[in-house]
Amino acid sequence: MSREIVVLTDVKLITCIVQRGEADKVVKAAQAAGAQGATIYYARGIGIQDRLGVLGITVNAEKEVVKMIVSSDQADRIFERVYLEAGLDIPGHGFMHMTTLEKAATYVPHDVVEKLSQAAEES
Protein backbone atom coordinates (compact mmCIF):
# COMPACT_ATOMS: atom_id res chain seq x y z
CA MET A 1 0.00 0.00 0.00
CA SER A 2 1.50 3.30 -1.03
CA ARG A 3 1.27 6.28 1.32
CA GLU A 4 -0.57 9.26 -0.01
CA ILE A 5 -0.35 12.89 0.97
CA VAL A 6 -3.52 14.83 1.57
CA VAL A 7 -2.73 18.38 0.56
CA LEU A 8 -4.87 21.14 1.95
CA THR A 9 -5.66 24.20 -0.11
CA ASP A 10 -7.49 27.44 0.70
CA VAL A 11 -5.13 27.92 3.64
CA LYS A 12 -4.18 31.23 5.23
CA LEU A 13 -1.46 32.00 7.73
CA ILE A 14 -2.21 34.53 10.43
CA THR A 15 0.81 35.79 12.34
CA CYS A 16 0.33 37.94 15.40
CA ILE A 17 3.13 39.52 17.40
CA VAL A 18 2.19 40.45 20.97
CA GLN A 19 3.95 41.22 24.22
CA ARG A 20 5.33 38.31 26.24
CA GLY A 21 2.58 36.55 28.15
CA GLU A 22 -0.28 37.65 25.91
CA ALA A 23 -0.12 34.78 23.43
CA ASP A 24 -2.35 32.35 25.31
CA LYS A 25 -5.13 34.89 25.36
CA VAL A 26 -4.82 35.37 21.61
CA VAL A 27 -4.84 31.64 20.90
CA LYS A 28 -7.93 31.14 23.08
CA ALA A 29 -9.83 33.79 21.13
CA ALA A 30 -8.72 32.30 17.84
CA GLN A 31 -9.73 28.81 18.91
CA ALA A 32 -13.15 30.08 19.94
CA ALA A 33 -13.49 31.38 16.40
CA GLY A 34 -12.59 27.98 14.93
CA ALA A 35 -8.80 27.93 14.68
CA GLN A 36 -7.40 24.46 15.27
CA GLY A 37 -4.18 25.36 17.01
CA ALA A 38 -1.22 27.67 17.07
CA THR A 39 2.52 27.77 17.27
CA ILE A 40 4.07 30.28 19.65
CA TYR A 41 7.64 31.35 19.83
CA TYR A 42 9.60 33.98 21.67
CA ALA A 43 11.12 36.97 20.00
CA ARG A 44 12.36 40.45 20.70
CA GLY A 45 10.90 43.51 19.05
CA ILE A 46 12.48 46.87 18.38
CA GLY A 47 10.99 50.09 17.10
CA ILE A 48 7.94 51.28 18.95
CA GLN A 49 9.65 51.88 22.31
CA ASP A 50 11.89 54.61 20.97
CA ARG A 51 9.03 56.41 19.33
CA LEU A 52 6.86 56.33 22.44
CA GLY A 53 9.33 58.21 24.64
CA VAL A 54 8.55 57.89 28.34
CA LEU A 55 5.58 55.64 27.66
CA GLY A 56 7.98 53.14 26.08
CA ILE A 57 8.45 51.60 29.50
CA THR A 58 4.94 50.19 29.39
CA VAL A 59 5.84 48.13 26.33
CA ASN A 60 7.74 44.90 26.88
CA ALA A 61 10.47 44.40 24.27
CA GLU A 62 10.11 40.64 24.74
CA LYS A 63 7.46 39.36 22.37
CA GLU A 64 5.56 36.25 21.56
CA VAL A 65 4.86 35.41 17.94
CA VAL A 66 1.68 33.44 17.38
CA LYS A 67 1.34 31.60 14.09
CA MET A 68 -1.98 30.09 13.17
CA ILE A 69 -2.91 28.26 10.01
CA VAL A 70 -6.57 28.71 9.26
CA SER A 71 -8.97 28.06 6.42
CA SER A 72 -9.67 30.94 4.11
CA ASP A 73 -13.33 31.03 5.12
CA GLN A 74 -12.43 31.44 8.78
CA ALA A 75 -9.52 33.73 8.19
CA ASP A 76 -11.19 37.12 8.27
CA ARG A 77 -13.25 36.25 11.30
CA ILE A 78 -10.25 35.00 13.26
CA PHE A 79 -8.21 37.97 12.11
CA GLU A 80 -10.74 40.32 13.67
CA ARG A 81 -11.18 38.35 16.87
CA VAL A 82 -7.46 38.26 17.42
CA TYR A 83 -7.11 41.95 16.64
CA LEU A 84 -9.71 42.87 19.23
CA GLU A 85 -8.57 40.35 21.85
CA ALA A 86 -4.93 41.37 21.63
CA GLY A 87 -5.89 45.04 21.74
CA LEU A 88 -3.81 45.91 18.73
CA ASP A 89 -5.52 49.31 18.51
CA ILE A 90 -3.42 50.33 21.52
CA PRO A 91 0.00 51.76 20.64
CA GLY A 92 2.78 49.26 21.19
CA HIS A 93 0.49 46.29 21.78
CA GLY A 94 1.46 44.38 18.69
CA PHE A 95 1.18 43.73 15.03
CA MET A 96 -0.49 41.13 12.88
CA HIS A 97 -0.60 40.04 9.29
CA MET A 98 -2.19 37.42 7.11
CA THR A 99 -0.82 35.69 4.04
CA THR A 100 -2.22 33.16 1.61
CA LEU A 101 -0.46 29.82 1.64
CA GLU A 102 -0.13 27.81 -1.51
CA LYS A 103 -0.68 24.48 0.18
CA ALA A 104 -0.34 22.77 3.52
CA ALA A 105 -0.24 19.22 4.79
CA THR A 106 -0.76 17.52 8.11
CA TYR A 107 -2.70 14.63 9.60
CA VAL A 108 -6.27 14.55 8.34
CA PRO A 109 -8.58 11.88 9.79
CA HIS A 110 -9.09 9.06 7.32
CA ASP A 111 -12.88 8.99 7.45
CA VAL A 112 -13.07 12.73 6.83
CA VAL A 113 -10.98 12.35 3.69
CA GLU A 114 -13.15 9.46 2.47
CA LYS A 115 -16.39 11.31 3.07
CA LEU A 116 -15.27 14.52 1.41
CA SER A 117 -13.76 12.82 -1.63
CA GLN A 118 -16.92 10.74 -2.09
CA ALA A 119 -18.99 13.91 -1.97
CA ALA A 120 -16.70 15.46 -4.57
CA GLU A 121 -17.10 12.44 -6.89
CA GLU A 122 -20.88 12.43 -6.62
CA SER A 123 -21.26 16.06 -7.50
Partner 1 sequence: MSKRIRYGDFISTVSVQQQRLSYNQLTPQPQYDAQGQEVPYQQTKLKLHPREIGRMVKPYVESRLMEQVKTVLPLVLYLLLFQWLILRQDIMTPWLITAGIAAVLLGLMLFIEGLQRGLMPFGEELGSTLPRKLRLPGVLSVAFLLGIGVTLAEPAIGALKTAGSLVSQAKAPLLYALLNQWSGVLVAIVGVGVGLAAVIATLRFVRGWNMKPLIYLTVTPVLGLSLYMHTDPLLRAVLGLAWDSGAVTTGPVTVPLVLALGVGVAAATSKKNEPSGFGIVTLASIFPILGVLLLGLFVAFVHPDSLQAVSTVSTHYAPEPSTRDQFQEAIVMGLRAIVPLIIFLFIVMKLVLHRDLPNPKVLTYGLIVAVLGMIIFNIGLTFGLSELGGQTGSSIPKVLQNGSVGGYLLILVFAWLLGFGATLAEPALHAMGMTVENLTQGAFKRYGLIYAVSFGVAFGIMLGVMKLLFHLPLIYFILPGYAVALTLTFFAHEEYVNIAWDSAGVTTGPVTVPLVLALGLGLGGEVGALDGFGILALASIGPIISVLSVGLWISWQVRRSHDKHEQEVAMHQEHTQGA
Instruction: From residue 6, give the alpha-carbon distance in Å to each of 3, 105, 110, 113.
Output: 10, 6, 10, 8
Q: Is 40 exposed, middle or buried (0-12, 13-18, 19+ CB in 10 A)?
A: middle
Cβ atoms of 84 and 28 within 8 Å: the answer is no
Interface with partner 1, residue 76, by CB under 8 A: yes
**Residue 43 or 76 having the CB closest to partner 1:** 76
Interface with partner 1, residue 59, by CB under 8 A: yes
Binding-residue pattern over the window 79 to 108 for partner 1, x denoting contact by CB under 8 A:
-x--xx--x--xxxx----------x---x
Instruction: From residue 48, give the alpha-carbon distance in Å to each of 68, 70, 109.
Output: 24, 29, 44
Piece of 24-32, 38-46, 48-56 that binds partner 1 (CB under 8 A)? 48-56
Footprint on this chain of partner 1 (rule: CB under 8 A): 2, 4-11, 34, 50-53, 55, 57-59, 70-77, 80, 83-84, 87, 90-93, 104, 108, 113, 116-117, 120
